[in-house]
Amino acid sequence: MSVRFGVFVPQGWKMDLVEIADPVEQYEAMTAVAKAADAGPWDSIWLYDHFHTVPEPTPNTTFECWTATATLARDTQRINIGQMVGCNGYRQPSLYAKIASTVDVASHGRLYAGIGAGWYEHEWKAYGYRWTDVPERMAEFKEAVQIIKKMWTEDEPVFQGRHYSIDKPINEPKGVRQPHPSFWIGGGGEKVTLKLVAQYADAANIGGGDPELLARKCAVLREHCDKLGRDYDSIIKSTNIDLDLAASSADNIARVEKLVEAGADYVNFYIPRVAYDHDPMLKLAAEVLPQFA
């Protein structure tokens, strides 16, 4: 089975730029990783959509997701670029669709537009966004996904929901990739999120690198696809894993093999310290990725 691979660039969210003092040099370190991935066999680079660091908020750099997406799209030539994943609560869905359409053009059709319901509570509150309980956030997310798809596929989209509405917004150009920008939905909620994947998405991000959990989410997604008449195999099933820097190439191959057996056809690596050392990324590209081509 052919598997494609992505790699996260260091944007500060995981405290992965703190050893670089100058913010310009921090940004250039992020860009350098993107360019190195662009030169290799990687299919994509990814950013997180967060404002504060993790595991706790600290006064350290976290570069804004969509701004960085746009600049990295212009700093690379071949590689796809996406968000893992965009937070619905941070942008009106109509604006999200417009931003994504613009970046898809700027990248010459290389955008993987990711979206999820969001979860990082203190970040929402610090930036003045209204924090709601899970059922309401999911209801908002469900409406947002529908609006985004309409903005990309209809000339005079109309939607009237409980949380959002649009009235024939003009979204030109809608993007470059056909039939619309590649739409990635992140999250494993079995009743709402995975059903939305089956209805509207080109790709899912599920399982968090856990083969057992991934297999369960894939099975639920397949059930939704069967009920809706969607071709399950037409949906990319991606998952994310943190690279163990001490692991051998053989260990990493075995780890990916387990994820593939569980249902993944796309794997995204987060590589600690890649801002300072590209060698682990280059080693993966040379020794692991070719095993799944």
What are the average pLDDT values for consecutive 10-residue runs of the chain, which has 293 residues? Answer: 94 98 98 97 98 96 98 98 96 98 98 96 95 95 98 98 98 97 96 97 98 98 98 98 97 98 98 98 97 94
- 93 in helix, strand or coil? helix
What does R_g of the chain's alpha carbons equal in angstroms? 18
Structurally, the chain folds into a number of domains equal to: 1
Amino acid 21: pLDDT = 97
Range of the domain at 258: 4-292
Residue 174: what pLDDT? 98
Alpha carbon of 195 to those of 108, 165, 217, 221, 224: distances in Å?
A: 30, 21, 11, 7, 6
The Cα–Cα gap between 255 and 245 comes to 13
CA atoms within 13 A on the CB side of 25: 7
The residue type found at 186 is G
Q: Return the amino acid letter for 247.
A: A
Reference 271, options 290, 247, 287; nearest CA is: 247
**Residue 241 CA: distances (Å) to CA of 163, 209, 261:** 34, 5, 15
Cis peptide before 272 (omega within 30 of 0): no
Cα 79 to chain centroid distance, Å, stands at 14
Helices 249-262 + 211-228 axis angle, to 10: 30
Round to whole Å and give the CA distance between 232 and 98: 28
**What does the block give as tokens for 38?**
């662009």
Alpha helices in the chain (DSSP H): 23-38, 65-75, 93-106, 121-126, 134-153, 193-200, 211-228, 249-262, 279-283
Instruction: Match 């037409």 to its residue by tokens.
Output: 234
Residue 33's pLDDT is what?
98
Helix, strand, coil abundance in the chain, percent, nearest 5: 45, 15, 40
- The pLDDT assigned to 131 comes to 94
pLDDT at 190: 96
Distance between CA 179 and CA 236 in Å, rounded? Answer: 16
Three-state secondary structure readout of 134-177: HHHHHHHHHHHHHHHHHHHHCCCCEEECCCCEEECCCCCCCCCC
Kindly report the CATH number assigned to the domain that includes residue 122: 3.20.20.30
